[in-house]
A = this chain, B = another copy of it.
Amino acid sequence: MPRPNRWRDVVRAAAEEFREYGYDGSTLEGIADRVGMMKGSLYNYIDTKEDLLIAVTAEPVEQLFSELRHLERSDIAAVDRLRALFRLNVQLFTEHYPAAFVFIQERSRKPQNEGLRGRDHEYAEVVERIVRDGAARGEFVLPGSTKVAVRYIVGVINSMVYWFHPAPGAAKNDYDGLADELFAYAVRGLAGSPLGQIEGGEVTREASRN
């Protein structure tokens, strides 16, 4: 009788605990409780608490980057790549909400976290390539430095974790409409040109119910 490996449960529990109390505020005992084991048993899976932080974010992050690589290889307009980026992120948040929250929230912690910070930086570089490309092609008009433009986009996307709470059990694409809506703001602003001019990714009203 094969005993199911509980590593996944452990990681999920850790994600939820970190989500709720933050990394420092979380307790190995709290995590063990969620899984239904003793805190000592966690050390059959990890060496240190920090391992859990890495594990929590690892898979979702790798998945995102894998998809980002696909995206960057595609031969579409910068706007469309940007729209896809928004969707990818919303999909990630939908499927891995706690992990995503934890990543965003913990990336600026002092000790260690080099891993998280490094990934954060890589992500910004992806956005930067899209922005630069779009600017070069005339799709985007940057009134200032590229850097600010990039941070603006990254900020819009990351700040979602503070207000976007996917319904439990939501499917990957359930919030694509929301992604498009936010994307629309990012690209044409609050007062920007009419929506019609941005083709594709129809924004549905229902999407913003969250």
Contact = CB atoms under 8 A, between A and B. Distances in A.
A205 interface: yes
A65 interface: no
A152 B185 contact: yes
Chain A interface mostly helix, strand, loop or mixed?
A: helix
A141 B22 contact: no
B154 A159 contact: yes
B25 A205 contact: no
Interface residues of A, number: 56
Nearest to A120: B162
Given A143-B181, A188-B192, A162 B131 contact: no
A198 to B, nearest CB: 8
A143 B197 CA distance: 12
A200 interface: no
A190 to B, nearest CB: 4
What's the number of copies of this chain in the assembled complex?
Answer: 4
A33 B97 CA distance: 38
Contact of A203 (B131, B143, B160, B195): B143
A208 B143 CA distance: 10
Interface stretch (A48-56, A67-75, A105-113): A105-113
Given A151-B159, A156-B156, A190 B190 contact: no
Contact of A192 (B24, B141, B158): B141
25 contacts: A22-B22, A22-B109, A22-B110, A25-B109, A105-B105, A105-B108, A141-B192, A143-B185, A143-B195, A144-B203, A147-B208, A148-B208, A149-B190, A151-B160, A152-B156, A152-B186, A155-B158, A155-B162, A156-B156, A158-B159, A187-B191, A188-B191, A191-B198, A192-B192, A192-B193
